[in-house]
Amino acid sequence: MDKHFNKGKKVLMKLQQAGYASYFVGGYVRDKLLGIESSDIDITTSATPDEVIALFNNVKETGKKYGSVTVLMDEYKYEVTTFRCDIDYIDNRHPNKVVYSKNIIDDLSRRDFTINAIIMDENEKITDYYDSKKDLENKIIRTINEPTKRFREDSLRMLRAFRFVSKLGFDIEEKTLEAINELKYLIKNISIERVMVELDKIFRGNYRNKALKYIIDTKVDQELYGISKGLKLVSKIDQELAPIEVFIICFILDDINDVWRFSNINKRLIKQILDLHEVTKEDIFNRFIVYVNGLEACLLANKINVVMGYKDQEKLIKKLYSALPIKDVCDLTFKGQDIIWLTPLRKKSWISVIVDDLKYNVIMGNLPNDYEALKEYALKKVEELRLEMGDTDE
């Protein structure tokens, strides 16, 4: 039993009992007709946000200024949006004002694609005003009414079309495709954060390459801040790639444009893999590279190398990692603290130099990870440093 859907029925029925028209709409209805599991349930209603808030005990005002609130029932949530009229948009993205309606046709006529404009009641009865089911059967992505109008209103819809190709494997209807080709420059008006959200979904889809080929054929790739070469390469690769891996490939083929916004963690990862690629694409991984970068980063860099046409070193990397005498500096049997205990040396930077020397020689097999052997080597290095630098007790 689908508890999420059944509780959504209760939301619908409560709205209707209060005298408001309400329906399931959008992706959940589309996916249900396609036999695809979905956990994102949207509801459209004649009730205003304030009227919805008054009806339910737990409501989040997530998008109230645009007519949407989120109703929470136990662990489930439902985006409930008031019927809206088709109005003027500013900046090719946002309506200049929100006008509510009591007519479901008004609301559906302003949506993006026919396959997202099917409504369903609590008894699972489908109402289809735009031959949407026919487009579902024929696997077609088509805008509601005039495509150029739809895309001028909200240019993000062009990327959403590609996202649905990537998810569903559908074809884009000819006039819709022509409009994307004509208006692709408007994508530059979309915030980079929203562009990245859509690209993330496009890169994850089962039909990624089909979507990428549409992006390339319409020349939308040329509006995406320097990742065109990478997208062309990825579109020819059958291998599954995480979104961050696609971006890394793109950045290998072209410089990173400052417009892209990644988390600090991903920024560091991208730089690490780019550096690893440069060092290992035509040379072999060695023990020290594997130690410094770790197994996962080395395997990722190797995956990128292979995609780029270089030698596969996965077995070597795993063998090198398995054979490492230490996996971390803490694994050394003789540590920096031992230097402090056994010598007058206190300068942290000098102690670090000696520990790094120990670490390198152990990793490369020049010294055993044995306390006495490392102690003898370290004490000798301490004396050499003190003589060279004239250091005493610092």
Residues 88 and 183 in one domain: no
Residues 130 and 149 in one domain: no
In this predicted structure, what is the pLDDT of residue 1? 47
Tell me whether residue 244 is in a domain. Answer: no
State pLDDT tens for residues 286-303: 999 999 999 999 999 999
CB atoms within 10 A of CB 273: 25
Residues 102 and 173 in one domain: no
In this predicted structure, what is the pLDDT of residue 347? 87
Q: What is the mean pLDDT of residues 150-164?
A: 96
In this predicted structure, what is the pLDDT of residue 346? 84
Residues 95 and 217 in one domain: no
**Domains identified in the chain, total number:** 4
Task: Identify the CA nearest to 317 among candidates 343, 301, 298.
Answer: 298
Tell me whether residue 95 is in a domain. Answer: yes
Tell me whether residue 394 is in a domain. Answer: no
Q: What is the mean pLDDT of residues 120-148?
A: 95
Residues 277 and 223 in one domain: no
Task: Identify the CA nearest to 325 among candidates 379, 364, 270.
Answer: 364
Strands of 65-113, DSSP E: 68-73, 76-82, 89-90, 94-95
Residues 289 and 359 in one domain: no
In this predicted structure, what is the pLDDT of residue 92? 57
Tell me whether residue 246 is in a domain. Answer: no
In this predicted structure, what is the pLDDT of residue 74? 87
Residues 228 and 298 in one domain: no
For 361, residues 6+ apart whose C-beta sits below 8 A from its C-beta are 367, 377
Using an 8 Å Cβ cutoff, are 52 and 44 in contact?
no
In this predicted structure, what is the pLDDT of residue 87? 66
State pLDDT tens for residues 206-242: 999 999 999 999 999 999 999 999 999 999 999 999 9
Tell me whether residue 186 is in a domain. Answer: yes
In this predicted structure, what is the pLDDT of residue 344? 87
Residues 315 and 194 in one domain: no
Backbone angles phi, psi at 79, to 5 degrees: -85, 120
Structure confidence at residue 388 as a pLDDT band (50, 70, 90): confident
In this predicted structure, what is the pLDDT of residue 392? 47
pLDDT above 60 for 182: yes
Using an 8 Å Cβ cutoff, are 49 and 61 in contact?
yes
* pLDDT over 90 percentage in the chain: 85
Last residue of a domain, one of 238, 272, 307: 238
pLDDT above 90 for 345: no
Amino acid at 186: L
In this predicted structure, what is the pLDDT of residue 171? 98
Strands of the chain, DSSP E: 22-25, 42-45, 59-63, 68-73, 76-82, 89-90, 94-95, 119-120, 126-127, 140-141, 171-172
pLDDT above 70 for 47: yes
Residues 120 and 147 in one domain: no
Tell me whether residue 245 is in a domain. Answer: no
Tell me whether residue 3 is in a domain. Answer: yes
Tell me whether residue 254 is in a domain. Answer: no
Last residue of a domain, one of 75, 107, 136: 136
Q: What is the mean pLDDT of residues 80-107?
A: 78
In this predicted structure, what is the pLDDT of residue 63? 86
State pLDDT tens for residues 19-39: 999 999 999 999 999 999 888
Q: The domain spanning residue 57 has which CATH number? A: 3.30.460.10
In this predicted structure, what is the pLDDT of residue 94? 58
Structure confidence at residue 2 as a pLDDT band (50, 70, 90): confident
Last residue of a domain, one of 80, 108, 136: 136
Q: Which domain holds residue 153?
A: 139-238
Residues 299 and 312 in one domain: yes
Residues 379 and 299 in one domain: no
Residues 152 and 275 in one domain: no
pLDDT above 90 for 91: no
Q: What is the mean pLDDT of residues 163-175?
A: 98
Q: The domain spanning residue 153 has which CATH number? A: 1.10.110.30
Backbone angles phi, psi at 224, to 5 degrees: -105, 45
Q: What is the overall mean pLDDT for the chain?
A: 93
